[in-house]
């Protein structure tokens, strides 16, 4: 089986697109995230991301994490995930995200974090 490369253009089941750069010497990468959904009246802006890939495993189905710094909201989303390649060479990123919303006070903290899963496939 081929190993999974994070670099490139990806789309998730919501229709959000992201572009990931090549890895640097330490496994770090950057990218940009264009969310298809936002649950806000604000205009969506393409937002930067920074991540790290874990050292490639023998099987090549690498783990990674990245953070998206939204440019249109005082919130932040972190993703963790793993890249899988099937026997046909199709790559899938299986991810789980946490979104922290800015809330005005500690009494609102209980409702400030959302969680979900996103599955990304490569755009040809
Ligand atoms: O909608 C988020 C937001 C934060 C404060 C006002 C708007 C920013 C964009 C998040 C996009 C999420 C989804 N897109 C995607 O591809 S990140 C995880 C999902 N995967 C209102 C208050 C908090 C959220 C909505 Fe807001």
How do residues 6-29 score in pLDDT, each as one tens digit? Answer: 999 999 999 999 999 999 999 999
How far is the centre of ligand 1, averaged over its atoms, from the C-alpha of 74 (Å)?
A: 10
Both tokens assigned to 66: 């990245």
Integer Cα distance of 48 and 50 in angstroms: 7
Long-range pairs, 27-30, Cβ under 8 A, ≥24: 27/52, 27/53, 27/54, 27/55, 28/52, 28/53, 29/53, 29/64, 29/66
pLDDT bucket at 61, cuts 50 / 70 / 90 = confident
Q: Cα(52) to centroid of ligand 1, in Å?
A: 22
Residue 57 has pLDDT above 70, yes or no: no
Q: How far is the CA of 99 from the centre of ligand 1 (A)?
A: 7
Mean pLDDT, to the nearest integer, of 60-74?
A: 95
pLDDT of 1: 60
Burial of 15 (0-12, 13-18, 19+ CB in 10 A): exposed
Tell me the ipTM for this assembly. 0.96
């Amino acid at each position: 089986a081929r190993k999974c490369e994070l670099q490139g253009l990806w789309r998730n089941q919501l229709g959000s697109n992201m572009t990931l750069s090549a890895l640097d010497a330490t496994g770090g990468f950057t990218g940009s995230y264009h969310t298809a959904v936002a649950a806000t009246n604000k205009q969506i802006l393409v937002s930067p991301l920074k991540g790290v890939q874990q050292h490639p495993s023998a099987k090549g189905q690498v783990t990674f994490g990245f953070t998206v710094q939204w440019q249109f909201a005082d919130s932040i989303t972190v993703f963790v995930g793993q890249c899988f390649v099937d026997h046909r060479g199709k790559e899938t990123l299986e991810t789980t995200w946490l979104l922290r919303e800015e809330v005005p006070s500690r009494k609102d903290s209980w409702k400030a974090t959302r969680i979900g899963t996103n599955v990304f496939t490569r755009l040809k």
